Amino acid sequence: MIRKDWMKIQSFFFFFVNRISKEKYEDFKKKLLSFFQKLGNKLKIWYIVRNAIFSSMTGVERMKKTMMGMLAVASTLALAACSNNQSAVATSKAGNVTQEEFYKALKATSGEQTLQRLVLQKVLENDAKDKKALEEEAKTEVANQVKQYGGEDALKAVLARSGFTSVDAYRDTVYLNKLITAAVKKSTTFSDEEVQKYYDSWEPKATAQHILIGVSQNASDEEKAEAKKKAEDLIKQLKDGADFDTLAKENSTDKTSAENGGKIGPFKRSDMVKEFADAAYGLKVGEITEEPVLTQYGYHVIKLVDKPEKGSLSDVRSTLEDELLAEKLKDTATIHSVVSSLVKNADVKITDDTLKNALKDFSDNTPNVTEQSQTTGN
């Protein structure tokens, strides 16, 4: 309970006590006694409070004085309890860890990094057209990954390899990346010449199914021959009418795509290793490779599921610009330039001297430090 709430309660008690009748006092005393018991149980001094206040009370005047005293004690104890709860992050027989100690330790170890992230998120959210929609996209994306990996614990184990301590931390990063993408998109325009040049060499994304018979590049000739023979046998089964989905689920060592009948994509030619891309793009829709395709991962049996016609530039311009934007997002200099501009326009001022370099990477000059921080020593 915060201090201003107790001031309101105190004002009420002073008003009430001066008007209470002796007949109503006993009932009120019981209720107030119950309040003190709850408070006293927390502070371990209930009996001291009770005995000090309720011993030998007679008469309305003593009643009023006693209740005034109870109110004063209650206010003091509750505020003390509130203060203790706020200041102690952890308690022990060896001593408490206060919020101030905890804050100083965090600030010393990761203060600038944490502040940078918080400030950038606020700046990017302020620039975003619909941050709520981006938040929902991030939640949905991570939820789908949880399902894909078979549960939150499984995804957490995968994320730990990349340094993420929790799925929530990963979700925050996905959200931040979406904010950055939105900011770069908002500040980027592509000329007709840029789009035309990209269109000239552009191919629509393809969708395929594949069955991978995995074999290591260091495998023996015998192992490689055995893997190739198995892939050849699968091609024969498919030509005889076998179901691709079923064979993929039963035989593919690419377990991620196998669960979906071997389906992968849509993908650009540049998304795949050259041998796979050349084979897939060389097929007509519905066709299956005549021979197993060898890549660094093993032998593939590939079926082309879909590859749209290229279409006119005007028909696919939006897709082209999305792909050009994706290329820009691979350029850290572009991202840095956009974010730095937003930080500058937001007029960010860091009020803590010890954290003054948190945004140094996004500013030509050292961030401003207010006079207040210099005088208070914060």
pLDDT, tens digit, 9 for 90 and up, residues 144-179:
999 988 899 999 998 998 889 899 999 999 999 999
Nearest Cα to 8, choosing from 325, 16, 338?
16
Per-residue pLDDT at 47 exceeds 80: no
Report whether CATH 3.50.50.60 matches the domain 203-306. no
Establish whether the linkage from the previous residue to 308 is cis, with ω within 30° of 0.
no
pLDDT, tens digit, 9 for 90 and up, residues 244-299:
999 999 999 998 899 899 999 999 999 999 999 999 999 999 999 999 999 999 99
Handedness of CA 192, 194, 196, 198 (dihedral sign): negative
Lowest pLDDT segment from 43-47, 199-203, 351-355: 43-47
Share of the chain above pLDDT 70, in %: 73
What average pLDDT does the segment 360-375 reach?
A: 51
What average pLDDT does the segment 327-332 reach?
A: 90
**Residue 43 pLDDT level (bands cut at 50, 70, 90):** very low
Q: What is the pTM of this model?
A: 0.57
**Residue 99 pLDDT level (bands cut at 50, 70, 90):** confident
Nearest Cα to 87, choosing from 67, 101, 66, 70?
101
Rg (CA), the chain: 34
Per-residue pLDDT at 213 exceeds 60: yes
Higher pLDDT, 248 or 367: 248
Per-residue pLDDT at 85 exceeds 50: no
Lowest pLDDT segment from 29-33, 36-40, 122-126, 347-351: 36-40
> Which residues belong to CATH 3.10.50.40 in the chain?
203-306
Q: Which pLDDT score is estimated for 135?
A: 95
3-state secondary structure the chain: CCHHHHHHHHHHHHHHHCCCCHHHHHHHHHHHHHHHHHHHHHHCCHHHHHHHHHCCCCCHHHHHHHHHHHHHHHHHHHHHHHHHHHHEEECCCCCCEEHHHHHHHHHHHHHHHHHHHHHHHHHHHHHCCCHHHHHHHHHHHHHHHHHHHCCHHHHHHHHHCCCCCCHHHHHHHHHHHHHHHHHHHHCCCCCHHHHHHHHHCCCCCEEEEEEEEECCCCCCHHHHHHHHHHHHHHHHHHHCCCCHHHHHHHHCCCHHHHCCCCEEEEECHHHCCHHHHHHHHCCCCCCECCCCEEECCEEEEEEEEECCCCCCHHHHHHHHHHHHHHHHCCCHHHHHHHHHHHHHHHCCECCCHHHCCCCHHHCCCCCECCHHHHHHCC
Q: Which pLDDT score is estimated for 365?
A: 42
What average pLDDT does the segment 339-357 reach?
A: 91
Q: Which pLDDT score is estimated for 373?
A: 37
Per-residue pLDDT at 48 exceeds 60: no
Higher pLDDT, 188 or 16: 188
**Residue 50 pLDDT level (bands cut at 50, 70, 90):** very low
What average pLDDT does the segment 99-118 reach?
A: 89
Q: At what angle do helices 167-186 and 99-127 cross, to 10 degrees?
A: 30
Q: Which pLDDT score is estimated for 345?
A: 93
- Given the DSSP bridges, would you call strands 293-295 and 298-306 parallel, antiparallel or unpaired? antiparallel
